[in-house]
Each structure stands twice: as C-alpha cells, then as structure tokens.
C-alpha cells in the first residue's frame, strides 16, 4: 500500500479532522500564536486551555514539578476568563483560516449553572467542538469533588451544557474513580457527543528534607508516559460501554502509543506532556508515525484500527 492511499482523517461528532492527533487542553493552548504553531506543525486539532466564567489566578507556586517519567502539577486552571478566551479563539480561527485544523474550546466551572453560562459565552467564538472539563483534580467544586467523580453530577453538567450550546460537546472524564465506564455511560445518556479519557491521575510528592509536600496545593495531577497504561485501560473500558466517539489522552508520545490508544477504542488521540520534550512539532511527528504504521501494516483508514483490540475488532 502506498502512503498516499492512507487516509488519516477522522470524523468526530460530525467534524472532520485531517488526522486524529489533537493538542490536549492546558498545553500550549494559552494563545492564538501558540495554537497556530501547533496546528501548522501537523496537528489535526488544537484545544485551548480550559477557561472559566471569570479570570482565575490558580494556585501559588510551586505548581509544576518534573519527576521521572512525567510531571506532577497543581496549576489550578489559571486562565484569563471566558471573555478573553473568546477573543483568543477568534484570533486562532483567523490565523488558521487557510488550514483544515479543527479548533476545540475547553471550559470548566465550580457549579452546574456555571458550566452552562461559560459554555454559552464561549460558543460566541464558534469553536468546532467544545470540551467540558469536569475532571480537574486540583480545584474546588460545588459538590466538594470533581463532577466526574459520580454519574449523577457528571450527567447534570452534561445536560446543562447541552442546553446552553448547539456546538458538539466532549466531556472529559477522570481516572480517579472506581469505574470510569459507569461515568461514561451516564454522560452519554445525558447527551454528550463524545468523551475524552483521561484527565490527570491524582498524586503527591514529598520533599524528605523539608518533610512536607512539594506542591503548594499538596496534591496534584500526574501526566506523561507513566499514566499511559491507565489511560489505555480507561479507553478500553469506555469503548465497551458507550457508542459515542472517544478521545484517548494520557502519556502518548509516539505513533505507536497513538495506535495503541486507537486499538483500545479511541477515534482520536490527545497529546500533552510530550510537547515539553519534543516541541511544537511533536504532534505532526506522531501523525506521520501513525501513517507509517498504517502503510507498514496495510491499514487504509484510521477507522480500521479503532477498537481492534476488542473481540471482533474494528470500529463500530
């Protein structure tokens, strides 16, 4: 099979991505210039940093530490607020107007009503898709725990956002639960158009000389290669339960990692921490490695690999 016959494009909630590799939220999605660079470097889609209704300072330093195979962070979703984010997304659209790169806006809030309000406000920028971040482990919430912690609260946010916008929504789930598939089913039934799995894994690091946690917030979220097996399992479990598309996120740093996510059930794959090691060209490199794998293994389309690790194989 020649490489020009490989079709990397994927359909995500009726939106066509030129390839399945997505810049994950919170990584370089802070300005239009950065998202343009990532988009022009080969990403199929770029996701803005999650925004709230009002500007948010986040947690005090230290907020991010490098450790072994990844990072531990408690940034606390610092952002300039939805009004500023609308302008960032509009500028991003203008900068990428001659490309087919898909733009995803990401939102979060501390209350169900807040999610609806910020979703409605950010929709004014007309992103192609809207990510609903109900799973950050480092911020306070209306019910005391992330909305992704229970099917009832996850579904409540999903319904509220669906009523507030006509843009397809991707609900971002947490691995810090007993059974992620139960949460995935709840948000699907509440109207989610897709799910993203996963957000960071809760963790902590202690300075043994000072005898105290290193992060100012004490706890943080683990990202990077160390969490890939957790993410793959979560994607696999979700695929067994829901029929809506899944975006696999967590520890992906190569084309082989991306293919593994797809065979677990992901239709598209988010890349985050790997950018810190490989730079803005990382997503384009991973997309090319996926294409090379497809050529070498006679896969004509990305959909030929989605869910292949399940009995019966193939995308549903």
Q: How many CB atoms lie within 10 A of CB 143?
A: 14
- The two beta strands, 21-23 and 45-47, are parallel
Known catalytic membership, residue 13: no
Candidates 13, 51, 136, 234; catalytic one: 136
What are the Cα distances from residue 190, in Å, to 105, 141, 202? Answer: 20, 20, 26
Token pair belonging to 256: 């082989």
Question: Could you tell me if 116 and 163 are in contact, meaning their C-beta atoms sit under 8 angstroms apart?
Answer: yes
Question: Could you tell me if 70 and 226 are in contact, meaning their C-beta atoms sit under 8 angstroms apart?
Answer: yes
Q: How many CB atoms lie within 10 A of CB 177?
A: 20
Q: How many whole angstroms separate alpha carbon 159 and alpha carbon 116?
A: 9
The residue among 54, 22, 63 whose CA lies nearest residue 39 is: 22
Q: How many whole angstroms separate alpha carbon 154 and alpha carbon 199?
A: 14
Query: From the centroid of its chain, how far is CA 77?
Result: 14
Q: How many whole angstroms separate alpha carbon 258 and alpha carbon 21?
A: 8
Query: Which are the catalytic amino acids?
Result: 136
């Amino acid at each position: 099979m020649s490489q020009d016959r490989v079709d990397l494009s994927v359909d995500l909630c009726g939106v066509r991505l030129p390839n399945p590799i997505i810049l994950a939220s919170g990584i370089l999605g802070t300005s239009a210039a950065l998202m343009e660079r990532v988009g022009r470097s080969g990403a199929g889609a770029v996701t803005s940093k999650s925004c709230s209704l009002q500007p948010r300072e986040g947690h005090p330093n230290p907020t991010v530490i490098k450790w072994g195979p990844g990072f531990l962070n408690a940034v606390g979703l610092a952002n300039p607020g939805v009004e500023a984010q609308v302008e960032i997304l509009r500028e991003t659209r203008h900068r990428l107007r001659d490309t087919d790169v898909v733009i995803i806006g990401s939102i979060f809030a501390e209350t169900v009503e807040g999610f609806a309000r910020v979703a409605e406000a950010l929709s004014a920028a007309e992103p192609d898709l809207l990510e609903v971040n109900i799973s950050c482990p480092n911020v306070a919430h209306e019910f005391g725990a992330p909305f992704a912690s229970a099917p009832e609260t996850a579904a409540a946010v999903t319904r509220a956002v669906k009523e507030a916008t006509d843009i397809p929504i991707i609900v971002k789930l947490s691995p810090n639960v007993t059974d992620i598939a139960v949460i995935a089913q709840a948000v699907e039934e509440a109207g989610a158009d897709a799910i993203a799995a996963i957000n960071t894994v809760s963790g902590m690091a202690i300075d043994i000389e000072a005898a105290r946690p290193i992060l100012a917030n004490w706890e943080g979220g683990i990202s990077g290669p160390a969490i890939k097996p957790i993410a793959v399992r979560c994607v696999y479990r979700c695929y067994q339960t829901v029929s809506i598309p899944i975006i696999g996120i967590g520890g992906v740093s190569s084309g082989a990692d991306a293919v593994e996510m797809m065979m677990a059930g992901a239709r598209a794959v988010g890349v985050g921490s790997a950018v810190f090691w490989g730079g803005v060209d990382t997503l384009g490199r991973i997309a090319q490695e996926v294409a090379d794998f497809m050529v070498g293994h006679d896969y004509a389309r990305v959909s030929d690999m989605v869910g292949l690790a399940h009995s019966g194989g193939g995308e549903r």
